[in-house]
Structure 1
Amino acid sequence: MSDSTTITERFRDALRSLEESSSTDDLVDLYASGCSVGNVVDGEAFSGHDGVREFWTIYREQFDEVSSEFAVIAGDDSGGVLEWTTTGTSNGHEVSYRGATVLEVADGEITRSMAYYDPADLGRQVVES
């Protein structure tokens, strides 16, 4: 990747890799060893590289197929935000939800990431499936 690729763009690319291959490696490589990762449901319950791996594995396992499209990708050396729509299938049924992920960054690594979305909306779709 070029030196001009932001951490936010690299995060987007690593998430796409996870969605396509189920491998967490590219995401784990972006995070600092003392990081925290979470969402509005779990809070910041996951920390360090093992926590990153667990968090993103749990995310991917919710879906048979999944793909995220990004409406906004903004960031600099201190952090970024991605606004996304994720679509896919869960238990053979279609799901779609929108949200945003906020990244805090230090020394070129993600120190904290938090995803914000309507968990009731996603929960209804997954439960109904």
Structure 2
Amino acid sequence: MADELTQRFIDALHSVEQQQDMETMTSLFSEDAELINAARNFKPQGQEGARQFWQQYRSAFDTIYSEFTSVKEGDGFAVLEWHGSGTRQNGQPLEYDGVSVIEHDGGHIRRFATYYDSSVFVGASEQGASGTKGGGSSS
């Protein structure tokens, strides 16, 4: 069972994905939070950076849903393995897997990093109707 902050993160991510609610997610981050998307070399900071981070994430998809396959927690951190599935903006299906790391102070996320195989996003327009599946991004 996920601790309270980790569960709030999972719930907020589903709100980002399903209702495009950025505010619930943004409120989980500290004012000096660091966010890292290694595949996109995107490293915003703070709550406004968190808002930009999650807006950019959600804008990559027409539909998206992340299923958490493993959640491991320790004192001040959580490691979440996930599988994302949905459709690109062009309607083509995609699936990908990744890992996200949360570091927190118990009340707010201080650092969030996500790692995934970005090949699912490279050449997405060239894949066209082939529906090629690969690895990708999420929470």
**Same fold, TM exceeding 0.5?**
yes
Match of 1:99, SS state, is strand
Instruction: Measure, in 1, the Cα distance between the counterparts of 2:95 and 2:125.
Output: 10
- Does 2:58 correspond to 1:49? no
Percent sequence identity over aligned pairs = 33
Which aligned pairs between 1:6-85 and structure 2 lie closer than 5 A? Answer: 6-43=4-41, 45-85=43-83
Instruction: Measure, in 2, the Cα distance between the counterparts of 1:83 and 1:127.
Output: 28
Give per-residue Cα distances to partners, 1:38-89, cap 9 Å, x unaligned.
Answer: 2122345210111000010010010001101010122244010110000000
Match of 2:21, SS state, is coil
TM-score after normalising by structure 1? 0.88
Instruction: Measure, in 1, the Cα distance between the counterparts of 2:52 and 2:69.
Output: 27
- Does 2:119 correspond to 1:93? no
Contact 1:8 1:74 in 2 (8 A): no
TM-score after normalising by structure 2? 0.82
For structure 1, list consecutive stretches of 5 or more residues without a partner in the other structure.
Answer: none
1:30 Cα offset (Å): 0.7
CA distance 1:20–1:42, change in 2 (3 Å)? same
Identify the structure with the greater strand proportion: 1
CA RMSD, 1 decimal: 1.8
Instruction: Measure, in 1, the Cα distance between the counterparts of 2:67 and 2:6.
Output: 14
Match of 1:108, SS state, is coil
Contact 1:7 1:77 in 2 (8 A): no
For structure 2, list consecutive stretches of 5 or more residues without a partner in the other structure.
Answer: 129-139
